[in-house]
Structure 1
Amino acid sequence: MTPLPSTAHVSTRPGRHDDLAVHHWPNPQATWIAVLVHGYGEHLGRYEEVARRLGDDGALVVGPDHVGHGRSGGERVSIADFEPVVDDLHDVVADARADHPGLPVVLIGHSMGGMIAARYAQRYGDGLSALILSGPVLGSWAALALADLPEIPEIPIDVATLSRDPAVGEAYSNDPLVWHGTFRRETLLALRSELELITEAGDLGDLPTLWMHGSEDELVPIDATRAGIEAIRGTDLTERIYPGARHEIFNETNRADVLATTTAFALEHV
């Protein structure tokens, strides 16, 4: 197989509110399309290892930096409504389909990106072969209580909660494209509204769905997510809980197992 590029090619396309940076990991031998959906405050450049592993298993990999994130335009981490973010993602998927007609699509979302991916699946699930959720924000999220405070305190993420691998936290802290500031009130309110919308919008039908979560995830605790999963689960849900793992299971010390589970599930359904 032709070796995949070590880093993504990044292009720009118009988004609903500003220009989007779209990451592409080309694969001339691709048999399926993997669409990555990143989490709050981060960017898709942190997913190089994930993309390479997906490419090794036959995927062409693509995904946007959300508006206000990474290399995309917009005020940093300011999102007043997540439905246009889902629309932006749909445009990226449509571009990939147009460039590679006939290839099946698997959507892979992490954390806030898992919320976005779940909503995408509710709206456009008929066009997906599978949905994979990693530590998704679903159901409720304790951090949203900050929106009710007169002044939102600056509470930096404890990087030790990301992974048992200390190099992950160090890289996160030193990444200039990661947002290290306080939450935006409008974003917290939009997250709350989107979670309520997802819970009320109905189940995922027969879409094959894999939910993966670290048992020691302190950023997005598993119990709240489980309630959200139960509200939207369809008839084909696979659950995988990793004992001892923290929030970023794709960057955990057992990431080889997580990535193997991810690609095996995708290949089973494409």
Structure 2
Amino acid sequence: MHEHPLTLTSEDDHLIKGTTFTPDRPQAVLVIAHGMAEHNGRYADFARWLGQHGIAAITFNHRGHGPDCSPKDLGHYSDRDGWHKVTDDLHRVLTHARQQFPGIPVILLGHSMGSFIAQSCLQQHGNAADALILSATNRINKPELLAYRTLIIGLKKVFGKRHQSPILANLSFGRFNKRFVPARTDADWLSRDPDQVDAYLADPLCGFNCTNGLWHDLVQGMLSINPRAWRKDLPVHLFAGTDDPVAEMGKGVTRHFRTIRNAGVKRVTFRLFNGGRHEMLNETNVEEVREYILALCQSHLPKEAPEKQTTAPTA
């Protein structure tokens, strides 16, 4: 296994930083788009594990996230065109993956916020990946999102786009954690594993509040997602925990699965992990989740691949 730093330049000269994990004989490459208020380093152990099974991985940090982000920009995409910029950054990473690993499948895994960036990116650039895996995603609830947008616009007018509103923090992470009262910490909603929760809370690059501008960009981006505009032969795989408040305790992500399937996308699979919370890759059954994702990756290997393939779960 070889690990190399990744640096790409965006259209506005922003530096996209990440890491490439390359096994000796990669059969596919998985690009990972992380969630809100975390960073790519949290996926390094998973990337190394994938490498042991012949799958290369590329992790990177979204704007406003990660160790190279300046304190003034933490939790903020951009003052202008933030959603366009984060989706374009992802497209550049996917294009790099094609160039770096020619002839093998490029698979995109988006977690939580990253799942919406991933959907938006492939809605615009359908051939940028050979398959899409959505972790801890949710339906596009337009009435709720429009109400959030109205609130965010008001907060931006009063406090500015770079203000980190405690109101929005309470309506998101704070609301999610109320599902688990009495809670040991403010982040119990992430995982049943207390060690993983404590590691998250101890990480200075995790758990920060995001700006009014980022929230506005995210809501606008989510409202633009329309599976009817997706490439119909793009394989899409969704998974979540039954106790993930972001996925509406399994109900919202189930509705999104049906929406994608009813939009005419030909191959859509879905799995709920019983009792799992928001971060299934940091859950108590992490080995089961890793094997599931590996099976999905292996299901997209060329049929003539010499390695034994594992059948991906379907719904």
TM bracket, shorter-chain basis: 0.7 to 0.9
**Which among 227, 232, 235 is matched to residue 255 of structure 2?**
227
- Unmatched runs of 5 consecutive residues or more in structure 2: 160-164, 175-185, 302-315
1:99 maps to which residue?
Answer: 100
Helix, strand or coil: the match of 2:245? Answer: coil
Amino acid at match of 1:77: G
Instruction: Name the stretch that deviates more: 235-244 or 170-179.
Output: 170-179
**Which among 280, 284, 288 is matched to residue 253 of structure 1?**
284
CA distance in 2, matches of 1:41, 1:201: 30
2:9 maps to which residue?
Answer: 14
2:245 maps to which residue?
Answer: 218
**Which among 17, 20, 26 is matched to residue 24 of structure 1?**
20
1:189 paired with 2:189, answer no
Instruction: Name the stretch that deviates more: 26-35 or 208-217.
Output: 26-35
CA distance in 1, matches of 2:218, 2:228: 15
- Unmatched runs of 5 consecutive residues or more in structure 1: none
Q: CA deviation at 1:83?
A: 2.2
Percent identity among equivalent residues? 31
1:165 paired with 2:160, answer no
CA distance in 2, matches of 1:170, 1:161: 12
2:140 maps to which residue?
Answer: 139
Q: CA deviation at 1:130?
A: 1.5
Moved over 4 A (4+): 141-144, 148-151
CA distance in 2, matches of 1:55, 1:211: 22
1:76 maps to which residue?
Answer: 74
Write the deviation string for residues 156-201 of structure 1: whole angstroms up to 9, x where unpaired: 6531111100011100011122242x33111111111111111376
Helix, strand or coil: the match of 2:126? Answer: helix
Amino acid at match of 1:162: L
Contact 2:123–2:227 under 8 Å retained in 1: no
Change (3 A) 1:27 1:62: same
CA distance in 2, matches of 1:192, 1:215: 24
Contact 1:27–1:55 under 8 Å retained in 2: yes
Between the two proteins, the alignment pairs up a number of residues equal to 264
Change (3 A) 1:159 1:16: farther
Give the TM-score normalised by the residue count of structure 2: 0.76
Contact 1:139–1:229 under 8 Å retained in 2: no
Change (3 A) 1:179 1:164: closer
Give the TM-score normalised by the residue count of structure 1: 0.88
Cα RMSD after superposing both structures: 2.4
CA distance in 1, matches of 2:220, 2:228: 12
Larger of the two Rg values belongs to structure: 2
1:37 maps to which residue?
Answer: 33
